[in-house]
Structure 1
Amino acid sequence: AVTPRAHDANAMALAMDAASDVHRGGLDDSHACPICRETFSDAFNTMCGHTFCYACIVEHLARAHACPCCAQPLTAESLFPNLALDKLLKQLSRSGQLPGSPRSGTASPALGSDGALATTTTTTT
């Protein structure tokens, strides 16, 4: 039998807590991306418990290797998608309960078959 790793259980708990908070209290400033201050687009969590838009945190990680909220060390490999929050935000948006909409035009993250963030490199010639 396969048992989940401890960090996987912690990651799921963080994602569910964030989605639950939005469902209970609606979207407020604490549920907007701390980088762009807009509704999350492709929400990703860090192991330190913060949530960001995928595009925002990847852009930040290109310049710094620490969480922009608490300065804990951070790498792209330690990010995980908050699918529960994304699903809830889409439902609220469709029902008209969400003011505004997530930023558009950002590429969705590539996830591996295990659900982990797939890192890619781009080369130009």
Structure 2
Amino acid sequence: MSTLEELNLLIEKATAIAGSQNKLAKMMEMNPSNLVEMKQGKRRANWRVLGKLRAILGEEPARAFMEEMALELEQSESTDEKKAAEGFWAILAAFPEAEKEKALIENNQGFNSWRKRRDSNP
């Protein structure tokens, strides 16, 4: 997550799903004041928090957490952490995003058409 505005938007969308900021904090197993401080820019939102927010918004959790972790590792001074980020991006590139998967399933592309057939034995 690159800006405070983007973080605030993410928190607001997740709050709408949860019903309130207190309920969102409870879902995320954190103190509600931490969310307030993040929205104000007083507290940093790490990859775990950002991944949880994205998962609450309906993103596939593994992808959300890995992308946020890779983004954080990319910004490190450590060459090992930068290499780890490259590894995460390579793994993520090997798997289609959820929206692409859904489109493939809906259009039956890449899947055998025999799966639609009803077998005589239930």
Q: TM-score range by the shorter chain?
A: under 0.3
Higher relative contact order (CA 8 A, sep 6+): 1
* TM-score calculated relative to the size of structure 1: 0.27
Higher helix share: 2
Higher strand share: 1
* TM-score calculated relative to the size of structure 2: 0.28
